[in-house]
């Protein structure tokens, strides 16, 4: 397979994986609901994306670099929201309101 074909495959993969992440990130930003987000999993995911970004930059792969830069930005935002809003005390079931 030629390098041009591989670049197109990489670009398509980057668009699909990054694009699929956008609706969830948008919903989380809009609702600030982080109740279903695991801090451990999301920390590992964000760190992994940062490593993929470094790897893509080292390889000089534009699709990998751009996709992971976007995903890292979104994942970092969600992780920050998880840290900020995820520590709210549980609501009192006996409280009316």
Q: For residue 17, is pLDDT > 80? A: yes
Predicted local distance difference test score (pLDDT) of residue 75? 93
Predicted local distance difference test score (pLDDT) of residue 50? 97
pLDDT per position as a tens digit, 43-89: 999 999 999 999 999 999 888 999 999 999 999 999 999 999 886 55
CATH 1.20.1280.290 at 3-85, yes or no: yes
Predicted local distance difference test score (pLDDT) of residue 51? 97
For the chain, which residues make up each domain, given as ranges?
3-85
Taking residues 20-27, report their average pLDDT: 89
* pTM: predicted TM-score of the whole model, two decimal places: 0.78
Residue 8 or 94, more confident: 8
DSSP states along 11-40: HHHHHHHHHHHHHHHHHHHHH---TT--HH
């Amino acid at each position: 397979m030629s390098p041009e074909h591989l670049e197109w495959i990489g670009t398509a993969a980057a668009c699909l994986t990054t694009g699929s992440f956008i609706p969830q990130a948008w919903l989380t930003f809009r609702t600030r609901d982080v109740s279903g987000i695991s801090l451990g999993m999301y920390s590992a995911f964000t760190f992994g994306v940062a490593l993929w970004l470094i790897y893509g930059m080292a390889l000089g792969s534009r699709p990998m670099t751009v996709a992971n830069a976007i995903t890292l930005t979104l994942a970092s935002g969600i992780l920050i929201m998880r840290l900020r809003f995820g520590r709210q005390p549980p609501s009192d079931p006996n409280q009316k309101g």
